């Protein structure tokens, strides 16, 4: 029912089938066997269903899932890159509050519809970022006493 | 009448304050398109760590109830359902608002929601102890099949593809096996130090529900919704009450439909609202007015989607099987306090269980009162740009996941599962069965192993798991849910055009 290229479904279901087969292989070859009884049960069903999905994708019979359009991919890519850097590197390396403030401001700048040419838009973004950081600090550092990794600047 | 005995606990200053906070916050969050009730409750869990169990549950329960009702605000004033449960409300609610009856539509929706919600919670109050007593007779084989039932029912009924729904459930069950095996202490699937202790449910829930929403907001680029908030003229609340009780048939159909659908695991508020709307239209003397701004449409849809909230918790509190993704998140909220719901919850933790249920009862009334007054504010919040919403949710997801165990590993797990879930959703997989698999996996495995040990010492595995009327009843329900869903899928494909299918999936995503 979808017009999107079959290739996307083939790649996605192929990856899932590969994961399913790998899990089944590990479950049936790892020791001690008693610890893998339940994973064997699950991974067998997992692998069968994943292969079924893959074969359906190969035959072009995938009925659900609209995939990702080029426009959606182009729109999400900058935000996705910022989010990945923030989650997997910056939060630990720069400290939670520093990294969150930077990521928050960049995401606002990337996706906020207000025109970049107006000074007012930038002031608004800085104020929203500062307000959000104040709330986060109040909630997590003061209220919940969460000890986050050491900040790079303070 | 245990619920009356613990009613006073709801009114202690802290408990009542949390109930108010959850209700008002939930109404505002619910009105925000893109913030589903499940995601709102998942993001709130880290804030309950330092609270007593019943306090945490009061906050989460209030948020659950009022996010469902709050979704009506943006459905009526912006024509954007705050949550899938409010899709049916948009049909007549927004038309009423464009005709200058926005205030009336909002009042009808909150009054109907409260009445439906109260009925649903009373059903929870009276059904739960009976079922809990019955569930005490369950042995390991029954609990194993019950866990499998939870995954398959949600996997098949909540997904557009039965195979992909079941596959999502399998992925969840597999994720639950990562870490050290409980009996042998053997390492299983530990491919990164971040998962050496297994996958913590809370960061997983936050990632699975919040991150796909964040990425979806990214895909909209720099565009703004440009949704116009319709101004609300004053409308006497007394007349709204008169109107709701005048439309008894729509109210009754909505309330009963919602309650029944709520009891069935996997069938959410979206279905409850749409089925109630459809049935009310069929039974109405003014069926031709539906879709043109008819009050019965709003009353039926809203009473249904809130009536399902209470009953949707019955399987969780009695059998420890969450009947919906939000119930699964609430289970996560219980587990972090070391409380495992199930038959003995009402014996070991009666104060927690009954105070929580009582708070949902009071929460319905508060939701109605505050909903009527803060609808305008909630509608303004609903206009917050995607960019701000995405950045806020991402920040909360990172801090919330970290705060569970002060571990970066949990942040990585949250990010990875969330990223993977976004792509899986784009290819027709659903988060709900995956979450259920993740939560029910340990229950299924523990009971499978325990059952196997008993079976090996007595009648043998095959006989132990496949004989007895209760085992067979559960197996038949598992098979029936799969069979029914396959049949429905075949029928839907036969009568749905390509354009309708693509549009439906886009709307749901």
Is B198 inside any structural domain?
A: no
- Beta pairing class for B179-180 and B187-188: antiparallel
Q: What is the pLDDT of residues A27-86, one digit of tens each?
A: 999 888 888 888 999 999 999 999 999 998 888 877 777 778 888 889 999 999 999 999
Is B192 inside any structural domain?
A: no
Contact list, A66 vs chain B (CB under 8 Å): 426, 502, 505-506, 509
SS3 assignment, position B466: helix
pLDDT at B389: 84
| Contact across the interface for A113 and B391, Cβ inside 8 Å | no
What number of C-beta contacts closer than 8 Å exist between A and B?
202
Check CB contact of A139 with chain B, cutoff 8 Å. Answer: yes
Is B200 inside any structural domain?
A: no
pLDDT at A98: 92
What is the mean pLDDT for each group of 10 consecutive residues in chain B (509 residues)?
80 90 85 74 83 87 83 79 77 83 85 90 86 77 85 73 88 91 82 85 88 89 66 76 87 89 70 82 82 86 87 82 78 78 78 88 88 70 78 90 87 94 88 85 87 83 81 87 80 61 52
- What is the interface pTM, i.e. ipTM, of the complex? 0.92
> Which residue do the tokens 């994708």 mark?
A57
> Which residue do the tokens 């009862």 mark?
B361
Considering its fold, how many domains does chain B have in total?
A: 1
CA closest to B430 among chain A residues: A65
Q: Residues of B numbered 226-265 whose beta carbons fall under 8 angstroms of chain A's beta carbons: which are they?
A: none
Q: What is the pLDDT of residues A115-132, one digit of tens each?
A: 888 888 899 999 999 999
The dihedral region occupied by B336, where left means phi > 0, alpha psi between -120 and 50, and beta the remainder, is: alpha
Confirm if B211 and B418 have CB atoms less than 8 A apart.
Answer: yes
| Contact across the interface for A68 and B423, Cβ inside 8 Å | yes
Q: What is the pLDDT of residues B380-410, one digit of tens each?
A: 666 678 888 889 989 989 988 888 888 899 9
Residue A12 has pLDDT above 50, yes or no: yes
| Contact across the interface for B189 and A23, Cβ inside 8 Å | yes
Q: Residues of B numbered 162-221 whose beta carbons fall under 8 angstroms of chain A's beta carbons: which are they?
A: 163-164, 166-167, 170-171, 173-174, 177, 181, 183-184, 186, 188-189, 214-215, 217-221
**Cα distance between residue B52 and residue B57, in whole Å:** 9
Is B112 inside any structural domain?
A: yes
Contact list, A34 vs chain B (CB under 8 Å): 183-184
Contact list, B50 vs chain A (CB under 8 Å): 144-145
B248-263 and B102-135 helices cross at what angle (nearest 10)?
Answer: 40
pLDDT at B151: 82
Is B371 inside any structural domain?
A: yes
Contact list, B383 vs chain A (CB under 8 Å): none
Is B284 inside any structural domain?
A: yes
β strands within chain A, DSSP E: none
Closest CA to B112 of B304, B303, B370: B303
Is B195 inside any structural domain?
A: no
pLDDT at A24: 93
Q: What is the pLDDT of residues B16-33, one digit of tens each?
A: 999 999 898 888 887 776
* Tokens standing for residue A90: 């910056």
| Contact across the interface for B395 and A103, Cβ inside 8 Å | yes
Query: Which of A27, A66, A91, A98 to substitute to test the interface with B, most B CBs within 10 Å?
Result: A66
Q: Which residues pair with B188 in a beta bridge?
A: B179
Sequence-distant (6+) residues with CB within 8 A of A9 are A2, A57, A62, A65, A67, B427
**Cα distance between residue A14 and residue A17, in whole Å:** 5
**Cα distance between residue B4 and residue A73, in whole Å:** 55
Candidate from B163, B221, B403 with C-beta closest to A140:
B403
| Contact across the interface for B449 and A37, Cβ inside 8 Å | yes
**Cα distance between residue B312 and residue B268, in whole Å:** 8
Check CB contact of A110 with chain B, cutoff 8 Å. Answer: yes
Distance from CA of B391 to the nearest CA of A (A): 5
Is B43 inside any structural domain?
A: yes
Which secondary-structure segment (H or E) carries B431? Answer: helix B431-457
**Cα distance between residue B322 and residue B477, in whole Å:** 16
pLDDT at A2: 46
Check CB contact of A127 with chain B, cutoff 8 Å. Answer: no
Structural domain including B364 reads 2-183+212-220+230-508
Distance from CA of A66 to the nearest CA of B (A): 6
Contact list, A26 vs chain B (CB under 8 Å): 189
Candidate from B164, B186, B403 with C-beta closest to A144:
B403
| Contact across the interface for B505 and A39, Cβ inside 8 Å | no
Check CB contact of A14 with chain B, cutoff 8 Å. Answer: no
Candidate from B186, B402, B423 with C-beta closest to A12:
B423
């Amino acid at each position: 029912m979808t017009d999107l290229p079959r290739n996307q479904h083939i790649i996605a279901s192929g990856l899932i089938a590969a994961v399913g087969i790998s899990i089944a292989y590990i479950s049936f070859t790892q020791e001690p066997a008693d610890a893998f009884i339940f994973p064997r049960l699950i991974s067998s069903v997992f692998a069968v269903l994943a292969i079924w999905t893959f074969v359906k994708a190969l035959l072009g019979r995938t009925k659900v899932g609209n995939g990702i359009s080029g426009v959606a991919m182009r729109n999400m890519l900058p935000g996705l890159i910022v989010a990945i850097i923030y989650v997997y590197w910056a939060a630990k390396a720069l400290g939670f509050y520093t990294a969150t403030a930077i990521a928050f401001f960049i995401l606002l700048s990337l996706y906020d519809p207000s025109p970049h040419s107006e000074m007012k838009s930038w002031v608004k973004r800085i104020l929203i970022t500062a307000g959000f950081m104040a709330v986060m600090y109040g909630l997590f550092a003061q209220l919940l006493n969460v000890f986050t990794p050491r900040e790079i600047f303070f | 009448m245990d619920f009356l005995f613990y009613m006073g606990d709801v009114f202690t200053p802290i408990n009542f304050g949390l109930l108010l906070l959850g209700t008002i916050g939930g109404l505002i969050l619910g009105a925000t398109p893109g913030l589903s009730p499940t995601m709102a409750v998942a993001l709130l869990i880290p804030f309950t760590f330092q609270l007593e169990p019943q306090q945490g549950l009061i906050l989460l329960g209030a948020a659950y109830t009022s996010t469902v009702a709050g979704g009506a605000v943006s459905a009526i004033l912006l024509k954007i359902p705050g949550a899938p449960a409010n899709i049916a409300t948009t049909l007549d609610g927004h038309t009423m608002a464009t005709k200058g009856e926005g205030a009336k539509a909002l009042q009808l929706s909150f009054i109907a929601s409260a009445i439906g919600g109260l009925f649903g919670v009373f059903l929870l109050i009276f059904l739960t102890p009976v079922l809990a007593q019955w569930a005490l007779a369950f042995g390991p084989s029954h609990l194993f099949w019950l866990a499998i039932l939870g995954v398959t029912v949600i996997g098949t009924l909540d997904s557009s593809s039965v195979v992909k729904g079941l596959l999502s459930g399998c992925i969840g069950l597999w994720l639950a096996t990562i870490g050290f095996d409980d009996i042998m202490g053997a390492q299983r699937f530990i491919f990164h130090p971040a998962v050496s202790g297994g996958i913590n449910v809370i960061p997983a829930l936050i990632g699975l529900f919040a991150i796909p929403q964040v990425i979806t907001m990214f895909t909209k680029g720099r565009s703004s919704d440009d949704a116009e908030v319709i101004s609300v003229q004053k409308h006497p609340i007394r007349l709204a009450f008169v109107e709701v009780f005048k439309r008894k048939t729509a109210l009754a159909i909505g309330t009963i439909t919602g309650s029944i659908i709520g009891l069935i695991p996997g069938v959410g508020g979206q279905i409850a609202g749409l089925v109630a709307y459809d049935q009310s239209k069929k039974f109405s003397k003014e069926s031709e007015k539906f879709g043109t701004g008819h009050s019965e449409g709003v009353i039926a849809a809203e009473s249904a989607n809130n009536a399902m909230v209470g009953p949707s918790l019955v399987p969780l509190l009695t059998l420890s099987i969450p009947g919906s993704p939000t119930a699964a998140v609430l289970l996560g909220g219980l587990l972090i306090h070391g409380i495992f719901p199930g038959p003995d919850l009402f014996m070991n933790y009666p104060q927690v269980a009954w105070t929580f249920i009582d708070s949902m009862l009071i929460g319905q009334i508060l939701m109605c009162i505050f909903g009527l007054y803060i609808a305008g504010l909630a509608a303004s919040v609903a206009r917050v740009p995607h960019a701000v919403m995405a950045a806020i949710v991402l920040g909360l997801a990172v801090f919330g996941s970290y705060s569970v165990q002060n571990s970066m590993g949990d942040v990585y797990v949250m990010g990875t599962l969330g990223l993977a879930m976004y792509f899986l959703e784009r290819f027709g997989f659903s988060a709900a069965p995956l979450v259920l698999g993740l939560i029910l996996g340990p229950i299924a495995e523990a009971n499978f192993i325990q059952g196997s040990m008993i079976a090996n010492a007595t009648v043998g595995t095959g006989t132990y798991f496949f004989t007895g009327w209760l085992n067979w009843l559960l197996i038949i329900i598992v098979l029936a849910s799969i069979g029914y869903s396959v049949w429905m899928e075949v029928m839907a494909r036969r009568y749905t055009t390509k354009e309708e299918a693509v549009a439906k999936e886009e709307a749901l995503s």
